Structure 1
Amino acid sequence: MKRREFITLLGSTAAAWPVASRAQRRKPNPRVGVLWHAADAKQEEEYLVVLTKAFQELGYFDGKNIELEHRFPAEQPERFRTMAQELAEGKVDVIVAVTGLGAREAKRATSTIPIVLVADPDPVGRGLVESLARPGGNVTGLSLMTVDLSGKRLALFKEIVPKLSRLALVLDPREPSSKPTAIANERAGRAAGCLIKVFEVTTADEIDPAFSVIARESFDGAFAVGPPMYNERVQVGASAMAHKVPTIASNAE
Structure 2
Amino acid sequence: MKRREFIAHFVATAAISTCPAYAQKGVLPVVGYLGFDAAEKSPELLVAFREGLRTLGFEENQNVAIEYRFAEGKYDRFPELAASLVQSSVQVIVAATGTNGVLATTAATKTIPIVFAIAMDPVSVGVVSSLNRPGGNATGVSMYTPQLVAKRLELLAELTPAGGTISMLINPTNPNANVISSDAEAAAKSLG
- State the TM-score, normalized to the length of structure 1: 0.61
Q: Deviations over 1:87-133 (max 9, x none)?
A: 11212111111122111111111101111111232322211112222
8 Å CA contact retained: 1:95, 1:116:
yes
Task: Using the TM superposition, give the Cα deviation of residue 47 of structure 1 relative to its aligned residue in structure 2, in angstroms.
Answer: 1.2
Q: Which residue of 2 is the match for residue 131 of structure 1?
A: 130
The structure, 1 or 2, with the larger RCO (C-alpha pairs under 8 Å, 6+ apart) is 2
Q: Which has the larger radius of gyration?
A: 1
Residue 35, structure 1, aligned to residue 34, structure 2: yes
Structure 1 unaligned runs (5+)? Answer: 1-24, 194-253
1:41 and 1:115 map into 2 onto residues whose CA distance is 20
The equivalent position to 2:57 in structure 1, one of 48, 55, 59, is: 59
The equivalent position to 1:81 in structure 2, one of 79, 82, 86, is: 79
- State the TM-score, normalized to the length of structure 2: 0.78
Identity, % of aligned positions:
35
1:153 and 1:135 map into 2 onto residues whose CA distance is 30
Q: Which amino acid aligns with 2:26?
A: K
Q: Which amino acid aligns with 1:76?
A: K
SS at 2:39's partner residue? coil
Q: Which residue of 2 is the match for residue 176 of structure 1?
A: 175
Residue 122, structure 1, aligned to residue 121, structure 2: yes
Give the aligned length: 167
Structure 2 unaligned runs (5+)? Answer: 1-23
Q: Which amino acid aligns with 1:69?
A: E
Q: Which amino acid aligns with 1:37?
A: F
Q: Which residue of 2 is the match for residue 229 of structure 1?
A: none
1:158 and 1:69 map into 2 onto residues whose CA distance is 47
